[in-house]
């Protein structure tokens, strides 16, 4: 049995980033840009008005106010899309609309609301002159030429995933097409004598083929183009015939025919036409998985089509698709972020993991009181597709775990969240752990000072099991709390303090958003149970055993030497410890 990671690595080693194609920008949504895009224009192309108002010389408004207007002679009007025909001379103004080019001579725009135009209009007054009711600074309500994009600038870099805003930027540059990595064509074949098409009435013993549809929809969701091959029967001839029709695709996905009973058919077909790898993957559902390449000859050239054989059970095929086919499709599309975003949530049911495989449990995730909660979506049989329909996440329980109890924190892959969501900048974080008296706080102090010396913006976090008191009796914050407020925030020009009553001990994941994203490094003392990288401080005199098990640790800082395989750093040599943190957590991102 191989691990999920090993299986994924193999699958990914079989697929390549596809070649680029040029196409209309509107068809490029979600695709990866294959060219650097420079601008050959300024945007905006000219200085122009950000408001409807009067373009004038700021000088002419000196001292203007509601009670003492400054009067200017209106010499013309300019609308968006046309060029001003007159120049603004001292003592004059041109009526101007948003987006219209600023006339020669003008250096500011005063909004209609800051003139007496409305009054004049309602009283049928003379509009050839206008009173300005406020003093304007040079540049007021003027959008400068090239303020958004300057001619010659690199605007979009190769590798960028195109979202609606990038499509808009391309349009503003006057590009009607873009060069993008093309979408993969994924051929989909269901196998099984029991399967019937969705539009056929069910004969006894038969079921509708649902995998073709769930898989094709997944392929589309991730940017591929599904090519439906239909239903292959459980015979070598039928399968061969169908597979032949899919050989012009970039990948072939079959479902069914890989569990023990009928696996031989898919294997025979693939062995005859290519190379087949067949693995049992250490996961549940989805243990059997076939993978290989099918050879083809096209126009005299030999080629290979990667093939992924998913298990037939509808839930298994979707979950294995998510773990293996989805990243393969994303890789072919040139995407760099292949992992589904994962969150930490509180599980609301007990989940047992009986046979030492990685368990993917279908859950419905909700957010309540600032925390995520995951509840299992009913019976978890791998044929119960509605349990998948009720789910928006998969709880991942490691193979080493016997299961979780209601109330535990678990990791959840969010099925409906885009991969790019995982790209949000995360601040590097390291926790210093150790037995009491091991010198954690001293090391924290030394590291903070060392990283400050290196020019880092450092945040330090400490967990205090015994509670704490920082709002002192008599202070305003204390009085607010006495009056019953659940949170008090005191801000001053140079400091911020936030005191909030809690009903549970916060996880590090809940604390980090409070700390904020502006730090280069977060150093944590304690939080031994969290999943963040940990360095344990060890002192000879406290014995040879460690507080954490070695697999939880990235390194040990010790004044002795221990018999473990993890890196050991010398106590007292802060530079070496800081180098280690820098190299392993900061520079890596």
Segment contacting ligand AMP (CB under 6 A): 15-23, 186-194, 328-336, 578-586? Answer: 186-194
The angle at the Cα of 87, spanning 84 to 93, to the nearest 5 degrees, equals 90
Which C-beta is closer to ligand AMP: that of 314 or that of 393? Answer: 314
Question: Could you say whether residue 257 binds ligand AMP (CB under 6 A)?
Answer: yes
Write the DSSP symbol of residue 261. Answer: T
Q: Under rule CB under 6 A, which residues in 369-428 are in contact with ligand AMP?
A: 383
Helix (H, G, I), strand (E, B) or coil at 244: helix
Segment contacting Mg ion (CB under 5 A): 35-43, 92-100, 125-133, 190-198? Answer: 190-198
Question: Could you say whether residue 114 binds ligand AMP (CB under 6 A)?
Answer: no
The nearest distance, CB 257 to ligand AMP, in angstroms, is 5
Quick one: which of 103, 224, 314, 526 contacts ligand AMP (CB under 6 A)? 314
d(CA 582, CA 589): 10
Which residues make Cβ contacts (< 8 Å) with residue 255, sequence separation at least 6? 188, 189, 190, 191, 211, 212, 215, 309, 310, 311, 312, 317
Q: CA–CA distance from 241 to each of 227, 234, 236, 264, 281 (Å)?
A: 15, 12, 9, 17, 29
Quick one: which of 166, 209, 322, 419 contacts ligand AMP (CB under 6 A)? 209
Q: Which tokens hold the place of 509?
A: 């994941």
Question: Could you say whether residue 259 binds ligand AMP (CB under 6 A)?
Answer: yes
Residue nearest to ligand AMP (CB): 312
d(CA 424, CA 414): 15
**Alpha-carbon dihedral sign for residues 99, 101, 103, 108:** positive
Q: Which tokens hold the place of 184?
A: 């993969």
Segment contacting Mg ion (CB under 5 A): 25-33, 221-229, 276-284, 308-316? Answer: 308-316
The nearest distance, CB 39 to ligand AMP, in angstroms, is 49
Question: Could you say whether residue 313 binds ligand AMP (CB under 6 A)?
Answer: yes
Q: Quick check: 141 and 51 in contact, CB under 8 A? A: yes
Q: Is 3 exposed, middle or buried (0-12, 13-18, 19+ CB in 10 A)?
A: middle
Question: Could you say whether residue 25 binds ligand AMP (CB under 6 A)?
Answer: no
The nearest distance, CB 264 to ligand AMP, in angstroms, is 12
User: In this structure, are strands 274-280 and 393-397 parallel, antiparallel, or unpaired?
Assistant: unpaired
Q: Which tokens hold the place of 234?
A: 């459980």
Which C-beta is closer to ligand AMP: that of 192 or that of 223? Answer: 192
Write the DSSP symbol of residue 36. Answer: -
Q: Under rule CB under 5 A, which residues in 542-561 are in contact with Mg ion?
A: none
Closest CA to 562 of 576, 578, 548: 548
Q: Under rule CB under 5 A, which residues in 252-281 are in contact with Mg ion?
A: 256-257
Q: CA–CA distance from 323 to each of 278, 409, 460, 567 (Å)?
A: 16, 22, 36, 32
Segment contacting ligand AMP (CB under 6 A): 189-197, 367-375, 456-464, 550-558? Answer: 189-197
Helix (H, G, I), strand (E, B) or coil at 555: strand
d(CA 491, CA 460): 19
Compute how many residues bind ligand AMP; rule: CB under 6 A: 21
Quick one: which of 192, 309, 439, 526 contacts Mg ion (CB under 5 A)? 192
The nearest distance, CB 265 to Mg ion, in angstroms, is 8
The nearest distance, CB 27 to ligand AMP, in angstroms, is 30
d(CA 214, CA 192): 16
Quick one: which of 39, 48, 115, 211 contacts ligand AMP (CB under 6 A)? 211
Segment contacting ligand AMP (CB under 6 A): 28-36, 47-55, 188-196, 462-470? Answer: 188-196
Quick one: which of 7, 130, 190, 508 contacts ligand AMP (CB under 6 A)? 190
End-to-end Cα separation, the chain, in angstroms: 32
Q: Quick check: 253 and 291 in contact, CB under 8 A? A: no
Quick one: which of 110, 132, 187, 195 contacts ligand AMP (CB under 6 A)? 195
Quick one: which of 210, 240, 485, 568 contacts ligand AMP (CB under 6 A)? 210
The nearest distance, CB 362 to ligand AMP, in angstroms, is 17
Which C-beta is closer to Mg ion: that of 224 or that of 286? Answer: 286
Segment contacting ligand AMP (CB under 6 A): 46-54, 114-122, 256-264, 439-447? Answer: 256-264
Count H helices and E strands in the chain, helices first: 13, 35
Question: Which listed option, Mg ion, ligand AMP, none, makes contact with residue 314 (CB within 5 to 8 Å by class)?
Answer: ligand AMP
Q: Which tokens hold the place of 53?
A: 């108002």
Residues at the contact surface with ligand AMP, assessed by CB under 6 A: 190, 192, 194-195, 207, 209-212, 255-259, 261-262, 311-314, 383
Residues at the contact surface with Mg ion, assessed by CB under 5 A: 192, 256-257, 312
């Amino acid at each position: 049995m191989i691990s999920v990671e090993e299986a994924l690595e193999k699958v990914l080693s079989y697929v390549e980033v596809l070649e680029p194609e040029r196409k209309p920008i509107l068809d490029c949504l979600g695709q990866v840009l294959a060219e650097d895009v420079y601008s050959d224009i300024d945007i905006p192309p000219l200085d122009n008005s950000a408001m409807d108002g009067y373009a004038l010389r700021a000088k002419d408004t000196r001292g203007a106010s509601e009670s003492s207007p400054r009067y200017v002679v209106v010499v013309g009007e300019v609308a968006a899309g046309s060029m001003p025909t007159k120049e603004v001379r001292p003592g004059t103004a041109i009526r101007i609309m948003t987006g219209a080019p600023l006339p020669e001579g003008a250096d500011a725009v005063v909004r209609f609301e800051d003139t007496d135009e409305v009054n004049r209009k309602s009283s049928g007054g003379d509009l050839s002159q206008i009173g300005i009711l406020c003093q304007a600074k040079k540049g007021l309500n003027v959008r400068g030429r090239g303020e958004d994009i300057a001619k010659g600038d690199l605007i979009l870099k190769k590798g960028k995933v195109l979202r609606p805003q990038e499509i808009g930027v391309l349009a503003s540059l006057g590009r009607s097409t873009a060069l993008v990595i093309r979408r993969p064509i994924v051929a989909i074949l269901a196998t099984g004598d029991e399967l019937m098409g969705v539009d056929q009435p069910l004969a006894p013993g038969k079921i509708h083929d649902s995998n073709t549809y769930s898989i094709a929809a997944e392929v589309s969701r991730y940017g591929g183009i599904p090519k439906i091959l239909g239903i292959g029967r459980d015979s070598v001839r039928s399968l061969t015939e169908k597979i032949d029709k899919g050989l012009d695709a970039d990948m072939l996905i079959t479902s069914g025919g890989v569990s023990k009973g009928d696996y031989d058919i898919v294997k025979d077909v693939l062995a005859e036409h290519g190379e087949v790898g067949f693995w049992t993957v250490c996961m549940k559902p989805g243990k059997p998985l076939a993978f290989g390449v099918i050879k083809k000859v096209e126009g005299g050239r030999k080629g290979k089509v990667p093939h992924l054989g998913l298990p037939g059970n509808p839930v298994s095929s979707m979950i294995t698709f998510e773990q293996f086919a989805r990243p393969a499709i994303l890789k072919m599309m040139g995407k760099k972020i292949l992992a589904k975003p994962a969150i930490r949530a509180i599980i609301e049911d007990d989940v047992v993991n009986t046979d030492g495989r990685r368990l993917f449990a279908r859950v419905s995730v909700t957010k309540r009181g600032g925390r995520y909660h995951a509840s299992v979506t009913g019976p978890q049989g791998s044929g119960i597709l509605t349990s998948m329909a009720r789910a928006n996440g998969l709880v991942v329980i490691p193979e080493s775990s016997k299961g979780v109890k209601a109330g535990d924190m678990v990791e959840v892959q969010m099925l409906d969240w885009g991969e790019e969501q995982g790209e949000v900048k995360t601040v590097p974080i390291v926790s210093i752990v150790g037995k009491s008296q091991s010198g954690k706080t001293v090391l924290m102090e030394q590291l903070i000072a060392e990283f400050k010396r290196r020019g880092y913006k450092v945040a330090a976090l400490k967990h205090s099991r015994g509670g704490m008191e920082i709002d002192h009796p008599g202070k305003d914050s204390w009085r607010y709390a006495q009056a019953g407020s659940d949170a008090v925030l005191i801000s001053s020009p140079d400091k911020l303090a936030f005191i909030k009553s809690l009903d549970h001990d916060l996880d590090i994941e809940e604390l980090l958003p409070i700390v904020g994203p502006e730090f280069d490094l977060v150093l944590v003392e304690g939080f031994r149970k969290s999943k963040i990288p940990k360095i344990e401080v060890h002192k000879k005199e406290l014995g040879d055993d460690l507080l954490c098990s070695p697999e939880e640790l990235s390194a040990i800082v010790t004044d002795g030497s221990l018999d473990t395989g993890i890196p050991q750093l010398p106590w007292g040599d802060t530079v070496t410890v800081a180098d280690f943190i820098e190299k392993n957590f900061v520079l890596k991102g």
